């Protein structure tokens, strides 16, 4: 009998498979399709201080082995997430969840993280620093070590739960940014977020997406994600949640060998709502195939 359990900053997960933020709603939407309690955890839809309608449509463009999205963090705001969305999830999901928080200033991040930190069902806070810094010309917080450090430090000052910083791959040196987050007190790192991409319609000769560019995700980005997880694992001593193009149990194992303790599944959920379920069911068979008894034993096994 294989053991799929992993430990993430004191949280024991039955398996390392977690639906990625933005691809699984607030979780309860999937409860009619299958028993979502089989999931290791759920990274909920990205939440901001204030409600956001999101970007204009069209927001989605298809690509070979992937897709581009520019949804724009559509969500009801942290107060309504706490009062309406989390209680709905609690009715159908009994495990600790991951709250994904975004912001447009350090004050935004601190406010939302402090609010969500008080929620009992939140086991871990994932801070997305790929958002534009409104006080710095729209440049993402996650593009320099200095700004990544400042956000991490501010969030850690107002929270008691483990904080994982979600990093953008659209940088020249992912390692220096991950190290800055560790220095700022981060309990872990989540990576990667989407790559920046675009498509052009040949008939109209204009960008397919109203926002021109968007986040490119799907199987095509998997090798980039594996590379970045591998690099960051060598540079930091805190756990990593790996993501980016994961769509099979074999991908999960490869990501863990690169250094991930847990693995998020994103775009695959948009193609097949049962993607996570299928991966979880396939995992024991693939573990046996590669003579893996305890999944936690292979973390960073390729180094």
Considering only CA atoms, give the Rg of the chain.
18
Which listed residue (44, 63, 113, 131) is catalytic? 131
Catalytic, 44? Answer no
23 with 266: CB under 8 angstroms?
yes
Cis peptide bond prior to 192, omega within 30° of 0: yes
Chain position carrying tokens 């095509």: 220
Q: If DSSP states are collapsed to H, E and C, what string results for the chain? A: CCECCEEECCEEECCCEEECCCCCCCCHHHCCCCCHHHCCCCECCCECCCCECCCCCCCEEEECCEEEECCCCCECCHHHHHHHHHHHHHHHCCCCEEEEECCCCHHHHHHHHHHHHCCCCEEEEEEECCCECCCCCCCEHHHCHHHHHHHHHHHHCCCCCCEEEECCCCCCCHHHHHHHHHHCCCCEEEECCCEEECCECCCCCCECCCCCCEEEECHHHHHHHHHHHHHHHHHCCCCEEEECCCCCHHHHHHHHHHCCCEEEECHHHHHCCCHHHHHHHHHHHHHHHCCCCEHHHHCCCCC
Q: Which residues are the active-site residues?
A: 131
């Amino acid at each position: 009998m294989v053991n799929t359990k992993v430990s993430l900053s004191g949280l024991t997960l039955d398996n390392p498979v977690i639906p990625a933020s933005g691809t699984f709603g607030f979780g309860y939407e999937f409860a009619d399709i299958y028993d979502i309690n089989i999931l290791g955890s759920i990274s909920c839809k990205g939440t901001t201080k204030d409600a956001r309608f999101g970007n204009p449509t069209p927001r989605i463009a298809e690509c070979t082995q992937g897709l581009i999205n520019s949804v724009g963090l559509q969500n009801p705001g942290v107060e309504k997430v706490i009062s309406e969305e989390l209680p709905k999830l609690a009715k159908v999901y009994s495990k600790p969840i991951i709250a994904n928080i975004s912001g447009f200033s350090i004050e935004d991040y601190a406010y939302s993280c402090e609010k969500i930190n008080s929620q009992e069902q939140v086991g871990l806070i994932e801070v997305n620093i790929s958002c534009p810094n409104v006080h710095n010309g729209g440049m993402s917080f996650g593009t320099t070590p200095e700004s990544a450090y400042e956000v991490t430090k501010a969030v850690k000052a107002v929270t008691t739960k483990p904080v994982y910083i979600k990093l953008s791959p659209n940088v020249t040196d992912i390692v220096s940014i991950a190290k800055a987050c560790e220095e700022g007190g981060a309990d872990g790192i989540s990576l990667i977020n989407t790559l920046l991409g675009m498509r052009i319609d040949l008939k109209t000769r204009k960008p397919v997406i109203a926002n021109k560019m968007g986040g490119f995700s799907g199987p095509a980005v998997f090798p980039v994600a594996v590379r970045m997880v591998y690099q960051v694992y060598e540079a930091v001593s805190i756990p990593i949640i790996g993501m980016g193009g994961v769509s099979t149990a074999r991908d999960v194992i490869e990501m863990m060998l690169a250094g991930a303790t847990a693995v998020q599944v994103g775009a695959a959920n948009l193609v097949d709502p049962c993607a996570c379920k299928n991966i979880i069911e396939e995992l024991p068979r693939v573990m046996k195939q590669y003579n893996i008894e305890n999944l936690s034993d292979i973390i960073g096994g390729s180094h």
